[in-house]
Amino acid sequence: MKYKRYFLTSESVAEGHPDKVADLISDSILDECLKQDKESRVAVETLITGNRVIVAGEITTNATLDIEGLVRERLKEVGYDDAKTTMDYRTCEIEQYIKKQSNDIAIGVNKGGAGDQGIMFGFACDETEEYMPYPIYLAHKITKQLAKVRKNGEIDYLKADGKAQVTIEYVDDFPIRVDSILISAQHLENIDIHMMQKDLIEKVILPVLDPDMLDFETKFFINPTGRFVIGGAIGDTGLTGRKIICDTYGGIARHGGGAFSGKDSSKVDRSACYMARHLAKNVVANGMARRCEIQLVFPYTEFKGGKAIHNKEINRIQLIFNGKPDEKIRNELKHNGFHWSRNEGAWQREFNKRTIYVTNYLIKDVLNNENIKQDEEGEEFE
């Protein structure tokens, strides 16, 4: 028997990676706006480079903001405390270029619609309990563990910046083993690379790796260049929205191109992707498909799953969840760190429960409708 065998790779970045620091700053400003004024309209971009932070964008809010204070607090939180190797939260320069939202954009949003056109995707699969692809799922677990051992002092020579890359072998669309794991972690000067390699394998990789996915051919690459002392904004410029693949499915599914961070939920780049993800997740959870990808296009919605779903079912789901960024969605969708499988906040857990309940009810109602004939054979989408 001939099997379909292939490899898929995804990467995650540490919380001190300059692009994710920029995301964090943008989302922290958004959070503060929504905390004080739930009707805030926010679209904030952050650029960090050298020892300078630049915050720019559009904010319409009644909130009183201390942007400089927020920026320094977040830089301190992620470990940016050295002007020579990352950035110093105490001495860095902070520039602000903030204006109000355009009246032309507000026309569409004020009517409960979108202020812009766009395409957004949601995806889910049955490879993990989180309905996430296995490569990005494991990559996020590694970078989360990397932050944990740095902050609790278990590996006290680590610095904030870093990355993890995971390659998974698949057979007939099932993940069967970890082929390789690569970690690049920032560290203090004069650290023995062999000691570091041993520490990261024993204290970062193995604690989060399913032993059933490990074999004698699995390869580990730890700081393959041998040195990673200069990092953060000193080593690389960071920009909001430049890690959109890390923020979603690690390249396994399509992406419409829009970033999430710094945008309130009236921005369909964010809210429509979140809603599409929840719909896709519940299609998979109900056994309707092993994989499901949903595309939302304003004002049109396309529904596509791993097997054929009757048009009447599609229409029913579209009718109830039309992707409109109305008050109901806006009240639920808020900032969420790594947006699908990482740092899930209490707000999202509660939203998950409500959405799963409602969506399960609708899907089961559709499937139990005797007037709808299901395709017994199913149809595989290319």
Domain ranges of the chain: 5-12+134-229
Contacts of residue 29, defined as CB under 8 A and 6 or more positions apart, other chains included, come to 42, 44, 55, 59, 65, 67, 70, 262
CB atoms within 10 A of CB 285: 16
Are 231 and 186 within 8 A, CB to CB?
yes
Residue that wins the pLDDT comparison between 206 and 348: 206
Comparing 95 with 269, the larger pLDDT belongs to 95
The count of C-alpha atoms lying within 13 angstroms of the C-alpha of 7, restricted to the half-sphere facing its C-beta, is 11
Query: Which residue has better confidence, 315 or 62?
Result: 62
Instruction: From 42, 50, 22, 27, select the one nearest 98 (Cα to Cα).
Output: 42
Average pLDDT, whole number, for the chain? 80
CA angle 262, 295, 378 (to 5 degrees): 145
pLDDT band at 11 (very low <50, low <70, confident <90, very high): very high
Residue 310 has pLDDT above 60, yes or no: no
The answer to whether residues 134 and 104 touch, using CB atoms and an 8 Å cutoff, is: no
List beta partners, residue 55.
46, 96
The DSSP H or E segment spanning 363 is helix 346-367
pLDDT at residue 274, as a whole number: 87
Is there a contact between 98 and 59 (Cβ–Cβ < 8 Å)? Answer: yes
pLDDT at 320 over 50: no
How far apart, in whole angstroms, are the C-alpha atoms of residue 245 and residue 203?
26
Q: Is the pLDDT of residue 134 over 70?
A: yes
d(Cα 30, Cα 308) in Å, to the nearest integer? 40
**Which of 239, 264, 235, 233 has the alpha carbon at shortest distance from 46?**
239
Q: Amino acid identity of 83?
A: A
Residue 340 confidence (pLDDT) above 90: no
Confidence of residue 106 (pLDDT cuts 50, 70, 90): low
What is the separation, in whole angstroms, between the first and last Cα of the chain? 22
Looking at residue 222, what is its pLDDT?
A: 96
**What CATH number does the domain located at 5-12+134-229 have?**
3.30.300.10
Minimum mean pLDDT range among 67-71, 214-218, 343-347: 343-347
Strands 158-171 and 291-297: unpaired
Instruction: Give the residue among 229, 234, 185, 264 at the shortest CA–CA distance from 53.
Output: 234
Q: What is the pLDDT of residue 365?
A: 35
| Higher-confidence position of 349 and 52 | 52
Helix (H, G, I), strand (E, B) or coil at 35: helix
Confidence of residue 109 (pLDDT cuts 50, 70, 90): low
pLDDT digits over 241-287, tens only?
Answer: 999 999 999 999 999 999 999 998 888 888 888 888 888 888 888 88
Does the pLDDT value for residue 239 go beyond 60? Answer: yes
Say whether pLDDT at 346 is over 60.
no
pLDDT at residue number 22: 97
pLDDT score of 376: 32
The pTM (predicted TM-score) of the whole model is 0.80
